[in-house]
Structure formats: C-alpha cells, structure tokens
Chain A
Amino acid sequence: MPLRLPFYKLVYKRLEIEGDKMVLSCVNHVKSGWKSVFMVFTTVADDRSLHCLLTVYTWKKCTLRTGSVRESTVLSTLKVRDPSLNHSAAEAKEEEWGRIYLYYYIHMTKIIHLKDIVPAATNTVNAQFILLEKGGIARDGKEMTCPALVADETASVHFQMWGSECETFEPGDIIRLADGIFSYHKNNLVLRAGKRGKAEKVGEFTMLFVETPNMSEIRWARDPNNLKKFVQEAIVSPHSRIFGPSR
C-alpha cells in the first residue's frame, strides 16, 4: 500500500549509513526464543557471519513494522555483506546455516492477511488490522479481558484483548500484531497476542477494511490428510454475531 512505502525506504537507507551501530543496539531486542538460536550460531560462526545475521535480522525486525517483505533483497543483502567467498568447508557450512536460518526466519515473520489465518496452537500470526469495535471489559482471574472486532482489507476476526490492552486500544486504532495466536480460547475462536506475542498501535484511521468474512464465525474441521491442520468446513455467519454489521 502506498501509505507504507516511505517508512520502509527510510529504514533501509538508515541501515546503509548506520548498519553497524544499529545492529549492535538491536541485539538486546532479540526475543528470548531467537536468542537461544543465536547462541548456537555464535558458537559455530565467526564475527563476520554473525554480523551478517544480525544485520539482516535487525532489518527484518524493522520491516516487520512496515509489513513489506522482500526475500530476494534480504538474501542478496546477506551475500553483499558477507565477504567470505572462497573458503574452507567450515566457513561454507556457516554460510549455509546462515541462509537456512534466515530463510526460516523470513517465512516465520511474514505478515499475513486475516483471510489466510487458520486455527493453530502456535503463535505465528503476524498481522496488521484496524480495531472496529470493543466489547465490555470483564475479569478473567486477575486480568482484564475485552473482546473486540478487528479487520483488514481481506477479512475481520474477533480479537481478544488482555490486561492493559483493554484500556489502551480504541476503535479506529491500527494495530500490528507480532507472534499472535489464533485458536480456541474458552470455546471462542479468537485472535490474541498470547503470552509470546505483542500488539502495538501503529496508527489511526487510515486503513481500509471489510467486515465479511469473519474468521471467528467459521466452523473449522481437521484436514483428513493432515490431522494437525484445520480447514474451513462451513460459514456460521458472514458477519460477527457478537458485534453485528455496522448500522
């Protein structure tokens, strides 16, 4: 979308100028899960490869904010910054590991459209949407919860807000969800940040949306060919039954 591009260019340009320092300052922002993976690589990789990985990782984190992912650019960046071209089998292996790792990373952090989310027990949903309506705030043990209707240009879904999210997010807010989870929670199929995910407000108002289909109002069944996956079985309701279409 045209509205996102300028920020992407700005970030990319900054990396060209300040790559090193930005990389190092961002190491602290590595999520705990990825940190341990990095630990493995630091033991087998030399400084240069780690440098490449960190650079690209940082860039990925930045582009996560903009939502644009260019695999070819990421991989070519790795090639450009990684000077080791000849080399021993060990070095070649490091490079190989690096690329595999990063390719894995790229696929894990792609932003998806709401119409493509599928119930799963993993926190791998990276999406951007606008908040349409909030329900009432209730208590679930010690924490506050609040159901909400959110949507992007492709679909809507019920988003379960938790804790401080309930009071912070307001209708009209554009929210970026990282590492969210779309699953059954107390018999409701909802999208939420969960323990490992993070929802952040990135803007207001300027995003288009549709309210149908609503991904929470679909009956899902297990894929007979792959019992770990779900497929759409039937539409329970085209619009949210909790919030209803806008009057």
Chain B
Amino acid sequence: MCPERLLRTVPHEAENPIEKSLREAFLLLQNQLKPPFPLTIPFPPEYSQLNHAIAFGILAQPHLAKVHLTHLHAIVVDGYEIFTSILLKLCNESFSRLLEVPKCQLLWVCSMLIHISAEKIETLFISLMRQITGGDFSESNLWLSVEVLKILSNNWDWLVEEPIVLSSALYVYLKLLADHFRLGGSFKLEELKRMEIDFCVKALREHFQLSMHIGRDLVRILQDVTYIPEFKDIWKDLLFDPKSFQVSEFSSLSNLYWRRTPSHFFLLRISPQMESQLRFLLTFVKWGSQKRYQAWFVKKHLYWPGSESMISDIVRFICCVHHPSNEIIHSNVISRWAVIGWLLKSCRRNYYEANAKLALFYDWLFFDEKFDNIMNIEPAMLLMINSVPQYVDITHMLLEFLFLLVDNYDVHHREMLAGNVSASINLLLRKGVVHSLDPLISCNSISPALRERFNSFLPALHLCCNKKVNEDETSTDI
C-alpha cells in the first residue's frame, strides 16, 4: 500500500531528504508497526530506524496514530530524544510545506509529548513558535497561532517549569497581538485575540519573575500593545505600582532596563529559513553582489502588506544575534549596517519604520560596557557615518530619531538615557569602530541644529566617565 505524502509536492523539485528517510523507514518496518509489539530492545541503528518509521506513521496515519504512539512508549530508551529530534528537524526545515493532515498530527503529537516530559520538547515548541509568521493573516498562519496557544494554555503546570518556553511564548504572543489586534473581523480572529490577551496577562500578572527573563525588550514590545485596555492597566502598574507584581527584585521599571535581553529571544520572530538566508547574506555575499539576494529576500518574506512588522525583528536579529567574525568584517563581505540601511528604506509605513529605528538604537539607550556587547551598537553608528555624504538623508533621519528617543522615551530617566548614548559613542570611538566623527560633524548637508546636538554628546564624554566612577563607588540599588 502506497503511504501518504508528508510534504507538498511540486513538479521539478528534488525529493526532500527528511521525508524520504521517514518514508523508507516506514516501508521497511511496516509489518513491525502493528501489535503485538516485540519486547526486545533494538540495537541503536534499528532503534533510530524504528523511530523514523513510527514518526512517519504518526504523521501520515491519523487513524493509527494512537497505536503508533503506544508502540513508541513501549520501546523508548532515550527519553524520546531521537523522536523529538526527528520532529525538530522536520519543523525547522520543512514546516511550511507540510500538508494539512501531517501538520495537525505534528501538533497533536507535540501536545502528547509534553505529558511525558520528552527530551527537547521545549526546543520543539520554540521551533513551532518560530513558524508563526509575523504580520501574516492567512488562514493557515492564524490556525497555527491558535493551535500552539491552545496547547500552551492547557499546560500551564508544564510551562511554569520551563521558563524559557514561557518567556519565549510571552515574547511571541505580545508581538503577534500587536499585529492581530488592529484587525477586525471574523469570530475566529476575535477568539484568537482573546486567548492571546488572556495568556499574556496571566504570564505577566502571575509569573512576572519568569516574564522578566525577557529583559529590556519586554518594555519595547509591551509598548506596542498599551492601547489594549488590559495592557494599559499592566503598564500603569509597571510604572506606578511595581510591587503589585510581587517580585522582590522588581521595584521599578528601570530594573528591566538593566537586564540585557538574551539573544535567543531575537530568533523567535524570524523563521529558520529567514535566519539562514540572512546569515548567508552577511557571511558570504560580497559588496556589489547583494542586489539580487535582496530582491529575492523581499519577494519571499516581505512582499505582503503587514510583512513590514517583521523588519524591526530582523534589525534586532542583525544587531544582537549575528555577530560576524573579525575576518569577515575585514573582508569584502557586505556589512550589517548596509543591510540594515536597505531594510529601513524598504519600510513603506511610518509606524514600522519608527519601530525599526527603535530596534536599531534600543541598546544605545541602556548601554553599559560591563554587560552589553559593542557589536550590538556598532551597526547604527556605522550606518550614520557611512551614509555621509552620498545618502545623507539617512544620517539626518537617524540623528533626528536618536534625539527624539533620548528626549521622549522615558522622560523620568532622560539624563540616564543621554548618558548611555554618550557612553556608546565613546566606546565606539575608543575601540576604533569609528576613527573620527568629523565626517558627520562637518557635513553641511546635515542641519546645524542636529550637528550641534550631536556634538553636545561628545564633550559629555569626559563628564560621563567621571560620573560612572562616582557611581561605582557609591553602590546604588539599581
């Protein structure tokens, strides 16, 4: 009997190696997959093959899935590690091409694996969340959003034991809410929004200690949903009643500023395929050759209205996750600042452009040499400097935005933010990332007011250093 396919077939496309290995294992061991199951423990190569065969059975034969799963329980000797690895590989490399039935089955088996604490099930869920595309309101994407959320919402006991999954899910669904909430419409969508709100509110109100793991970017993404009443209340409490979250280390919003967001959060909102394409672009493609790759990237990932919501996530990824080696930096490969410049220019709507610029400068606002990485702040500076004189409008736009940010992001901490920006510029100069800021300061195409303001950050360098010394001596409670 010819078994079902797992992935969509397209003419002229080579057979997917993962599907091939799963199907071949299934064909080979078909007869062993019916009860009664042998009780002998298979040797490693056969064990792996059996896992492959069972995986195919579960994905392709919904009516027999429970039988296959029972079989798996009976033979498992490695905590399901091989099994979840198979699903993880399939998810990372081919999720979008899965047919409807295997996709449903995949989610079903993932929910089953939670109950038995399978190895690496957390990684599998993170991978599933990465498959939910930002700004995409198609049926299938919204369906995935709902289904994953349902599983998470039904398993809070497990979630509380897995801080990474909980905080990652909070990050993902806060970001998705910012996309979804503006959409009116179907009953299903309203239900999804309601679920998302309930989930995020519960995570923040009842498990703030774990939510805090996100760090400073939690503030950034929360701000995009503060117009939603439940989050308006949360925001008010964060500002004026931090104690209500019942976490001793959290006495003020600025406590979050000092927590650098771990880089794995910035992978959550870009798919594995997007990630590998961006990494390829920034590792191998030479200056001058990037135009075609950029066009293909846009055609694949940024072509529908709403897709721009991912640009700020991509900027965050480039600044904070992808740090090229010195060898690559000094080679002829295209630089991060150039790719960011192209992304900024791709924004068609102000809202998304502003978010992208915030993503670019976010680490400047809170930079502390002791904990933060200079690679996070480097692209913004290089983009500003290198855009003079040919693309001076970019420099102009960025400078304007930077000052707006410093003045308005958090009016109660304006001085601190300004100090951190100064410290960032200072460090970039000291480490030789830029040799001199003269091209910027002496450029006539930039308005004198902006240049003067920029200059004002520089003499503050000396003051800034002294201030930091004083602060170290009198330990503060921040």
Contacts and interface: CB of A to CB of B under 8 A. Distances in A.
Contacts of B276: 206
Given A10-B17, A17-B45, A246-B291, A168 B300 contact: no
Interface in A162-213: 164-165, 168-169, 171-172, 176, 199-202, 204-206, 208-209
Interface string B265-279: 000000000001100
A176 B277 contact: no
Nearest to B288: A246
Interface string B257-294: 00000000000000000001100100011000101110
B10 A206 contact: no
Contacts of B14: 65, 176, 200-202
B12 A165 contact: yes
A199 B13 CA distance: 8
A172 B299 contact: yes
Interface residues of B, number: 25
A21 B28 CA distance: 8
A200 B12 contact: yes
A25 B26 CA distance: 14
Nearest to B297: A205
B277 A206 contact: yes
Interface string A5-28: 001001000100110011001000
Nearest to A165: B12
Contacts of B292: 132, 171-172, 246
A142 interface: no
B285 to A, nearest CB: 7
B36 interface: no
Contacts of B49: 17
Contacts of A14: 21
A interface majority secondary structure: mixed
A247 interface: yes
What is the interface residue range for chain A against chain B?
Answer: 20 to 34
Nearest to A14: B21
Nearest to B284: A208
B246 to A, nearest CB: 48
Contacts of A204: 277, 296, 300
A52 to B, nearest CB: 22
Contacts of B277: 204-206
B17 A171 contact: no
B11 interface: yes
Interface string A199-242: 11110111011000000000000000000000000000000000
A212 to B, nearest CB: 12
Contacts of B28: 18, 21
Given A205-B280, A205-B293, A169 B12 contact: yes
Contacts of B17: 7, 10
B291 to A, nearest CB: 5
B12 A205 contact: no
Nearest to A168: B12
Most chain B CB within a 10 A radius of its CB, from A22, A205, A246? A205
Contacts of A176: 14
A205 B276 CA distance: 9
Contact of A172 (B10, B24, B300): B300
A208 B300 CA distance: 18
A202 B17 CA distance: 10
Given A10-B17, A206-B276, A168 B291 contact: no
B12 A208 contact: no
Given A21-B28, A247-B291, A199 B12 contact: yes
Contacts of A171: 292, 295-296, 299
Interface in B4-20: 10-14, 17
A133 to B, nearest CB: 8
Contacts of A246: 291-292
A169 B10 CA distance: 10
A17 B10 CA distance: 30
Contact of A168 (B10, B280, B296): B10
B11 A206 contact: no
Interface string A96-107: 000000000000
Contacts of A206: 276-277, 280
Nearest to A200: B14
Contacts of A209: 289
Interface of B: 10-14, 17, 21, 24, 28, 45, 49, 276-277, 280, 284-285, 289, 291-293, 295-297, 299-300
23 contacts: A14-B21, A17-B45, A18-B24, A25-B24, A164-B12, A168-B10, A168-B11, A168-B12, A169-B12, A171-B292, A171-B295, A172-B300, A199-B12, A200-B12, A200-B14, A202-B14, A204-B277, A204-B300, A205-B296, A206-B277, A209-B289, A246-B291, A246-B292
